[in-house]
A = this chain, B = another copy of it.
Amino acid sequence: MKGSLDFIFRPKSIAVIGATNRKGSIGRELLHNIIDYEFEGKVFPVNPTKSVIHSIKCYSTILDVPDSVDLAVIVVPKELVLTTVEQCGEKGVKGLVMITAGFKEQGKAGAELELQVAALVKRYGMRMIGPNCFGIINADPKVHLDATFSKIRPSFGKIGLISQSGALGEAILAQAQEINLGLSMFASIGNKADIDGNHIIEYWRDDPTVEIILLYLENFGDPRTFSKIAREVSRVKPIIVVKSGKTTQGAAAASSHTGALAGLDVSVDALFEQTGVIRANTIEEMFDVANALAKMPVPKGNRVAIVTNAGGPGILATDALIGSGMSLPQFDQKTVKAIQPILPKGTPVHNPLDLVAGATGVEFRKSLSHVVKDPNIDSVIAICVPPVTIDLNLVADAIIDTAHESKLPMFACFMGVTYGSDAFDRLRQADIPAMIFPESIATTLAHIDKYRRWLSRPEGKIAKIKGDRDKVTEIIARNRKAKNPAVVGDDALQILDAYKIAVAAYKYAFSKEEAAKIAQKIGFPVVMKVNTPHILHKTEYKAVAVDLRTPQEVMEQYVEMQKRIKKAMPNSKEKFSVVIQEMITGGVETVIGMTTDPSFGPLIMFGLGGIYVEIMKDVSFRIAPLTDLDAREMIQSLKGYRLLTGFRGSKPVDIVSIEDAITKLSQLVLDFPDFAEIDINPFIVTADKNNTRAVDARFVLTEV
């Protein structure tokens, strides 16, 4: 699917099929835009009912066009689409942008038609954007193509922008214009019947005019491909995404802990975490980050200096920065000494640096020139609240000149002025990211800093693990045959064993005497559990007894448990039996699990056991396959991570053995698509890696 899309984004000639003269119609606006934006190629209107549109000769069908046509933009009524595409194919058109709507988005019949269109496109070896889209733009002066029906003419810049929503297209272009952010290319991809976001990202990876990629997405057509491409492209061009639709997607009914814990959006978050994609919460945020990245280098660290002419906004900015994980280090002594004479006598020099209210361009210029040289500082925010007495343009100039000379990332925050005011315009013209509220700058810096950390860390490796596949295949087959919805008990632990995930010693006992004998063999203390697949949450039925220390205790407990279970499940015909299992002491209970996202595939989960998972929801997810670094990060990202590193005198547990088990599970689920959900619960981790053990597991099978 790789390859250039130049015939779509850099065509030499375009046909607009369905162009009209009718005021307010899409066909008219589109043709008008192409001409008005001064497309550097030929345009051929096509419409059987006209001979001239917009003073240009109009052709009845595309087959009548005398020249060859690279790109056809189609705005004909839905009913004419198949014929039109067919004719484009015959004509040898290479690319289509299908604006026409009324397909998949309007139910079954539309979806059917869309498939036919896609098949036709494929048959003729064409490529298509749409249907049901807003069109495309290439602002490169060498092309200057605006094949949308937008009212906005974007200026040329570094941004490649993909919008899944056609309706949002206009809104997004307006916002870019509002903050003076230049675009390289824009594509509204609509129903993605052929070309999707992944193709365009791949195309832009190699296009020098696109330096930053922005996406507005509602769903991922092919998240696994996105994951692969994004991981690679993020290394060279930042990708910033607004992914909506968090709450509309219904959570599949889950029968495992892991499934129930996978929130609606964890897969998307995991995907972005693993691929270095910057996830913006709003379109506004997406543009703020893009604007900053377009206009300055990525700061080398999270250390910010604030230079302000007013205390209040300095505090607002400090709060927001610290709250976003940035830091405000104190200035180097050299900087302090250099700045001292600029301030009124006795005023302390600290960060945030409060130039007093009367500060003019001169004081800003002097102090900024020292701050940018401070070795403790990675980026600067210059805040100016316009007092009545100073010329804002001079402050803007001070910021612009210092930023340009020093190359240090610098933001301007002019509170109380409006977009479009003189000083603001000046800053923007000079490519200084300027905002009105300091909080937006803090959020922007935090996003960029997270990206910087992703860039600076090693890529990690996906270990190849060889499990005993035959054994697992046999267990799955046997359980499928028995129509078991899940593999549990002995079988489940056998699966772990087949993939070398250590399991606590255990044996089944069918009488109290046998139980006592087994316990003695395993060694005290032991754990006793009812052996039945029908009891899911064993603690609720008191079907687990721990810390049994003597044969006597084992036998007593056997009898009592039998009574309890009989009472709880009077109609069960299963013969009562128990598992006697080695009791792992001095360890931390954890849970390792897997759940399947309908479009992302297997998601691996890790959490601290019991109540931490179930009530505190302190868990992390990653998409399989995981690198060793992914596994480490998902462990470290837990709030309760400190419980693993030695808390209150307890020994730190062997974290490598958790990473190990996680990556083994990742391999297992890739080897066997039969598992819908998995809980390894508890997985007890101790200081001694040889004593770390899975105690119980459950593999929910996919439906067949």
Whether B246 pairs with A168 at a CB distance below 8 angstroms is no
Q: Which residues of B contact A163 (CB under 8 A)?
A: 312
A175 → chain B, closest Cβ, in Å? 7
Whether A649 pairs with B542 at a CB distance below 8 angstroms is yes
A423 → chain B, closest Cβ, in Å? 13
The residues in A between 377 and 417 inclusive whose CB is less than 8 angstroms from any CB of B are 385-389, 415-417
Whether B172 pairs with A416 at a CB distance below 8 angstroms is yes
Please pick, from B173, B319, B541, the residue contacting A416 in the complex, using a CB distance under 8 A.
B173
Please pick, from B29, B168, B242, B615, the residue contacting A385 in the complex, using a CB distance under 8 A.
B168
- A682 contacts the other chain (CB 8 A): no
Please pick, from B25, B107, B167, B537, the residue contacting A312 in the complex, using a CB distance under 8 A.
B167
Please pick, from B29, B167, B246, B310, the residue contacting A167 in the complex, using a CB distance under 8 A.
B310
Chain B residue nearest to A322 (CB atoms) is B247
A290 → chain B, closest Cβ, in Å? 16
Please pick, from B26, B151, B216, B312, the residue contacting A168 in the complex, using a CB distance under 8 A.
B312
Complex: A25 Cα to B168 Cα, angstroms: 48
Whether A246 pairs with B284 at a CB distance below 8 angstroms is no
Complex: A417 Cα to B170 Cα, angstroms: 9
Q: How large is the interface on A (under 10, 10 to 19, 20 to 34, 35 or more residues)?
A: 35 or more
Complex: A171 Cα to B310 Cα, angstroms: 11
Whether A319 pairs with B246 at a CB distance below 8 angstroms is yes
Q: Which residues of B contact A590 (CB under 8 A)?
A: none
Q: Which residues of B contact A164 (CB under 8 A)?
A: 312
Q: Which residues of B contact A244 (CB under 8 A)?
A: 312, 315-316, 319
A424 → chain B, closest Cβ, in Å? 12
- A703 contacts the other chain (CB 8 A): no
- A639 contacts the other chain (CB 8 A): yes
Among the stretches A444-452, A477-485, A598-606, A640-648, the one at the interface with B is A640-648
Whether B24 pairs with A389 at a CB distance below 8 angstroms is yes
A94 → chain B, closest Cβ, in Å? 28
The residues in A between 139 and 175 inclusive whose CB is less than 8 angstroms from any CB of B are 149-151, 163-168, 170-175
A540 → chain B, closest Cβ, in Å? 4
- Chain A 551-572 per-residue mask, 1 if CB under 8 angstroms from chain B, else 0: 0000000000000000000000
- A221 contacts the other chain (CB 8 A): no
- A197 contacts the other chain (CB 8 A): no
Please pick, from B282, B315, B418, the residue contacting A178 in the complex, using a CB distance under 8 A.
B418
- Chain A 602-641 per-residue mask, 1 if CB under 8 angstroms from chain B, else 0: 0000000001100110100000000000000000000110
Whether B170 pairs with A386 at a CB distance below 8 angstroms is yes
- A311 contacts the other chain (CB 8 A): yes
Whether A388 pairs with B24 at a CB distance below 8 angstroms is yes
Complex: A640 Cα to B616 Cα, angstroms: 6
Given contacts A26-B388, A246-B322, 6 further A-B contacts (CB under 8 A): A164-B312, A167-B310, A167-B313, A171-B415, A216-B312, A282-B439
Pairs across A and B, CB under 8 Å, 11 listed: A106-B347, A151-B388, A165-B313, A168-B312, A244-B312, A246-B323, A247-B323, A284-B437, A537-B648, A612-B616, A615-B642
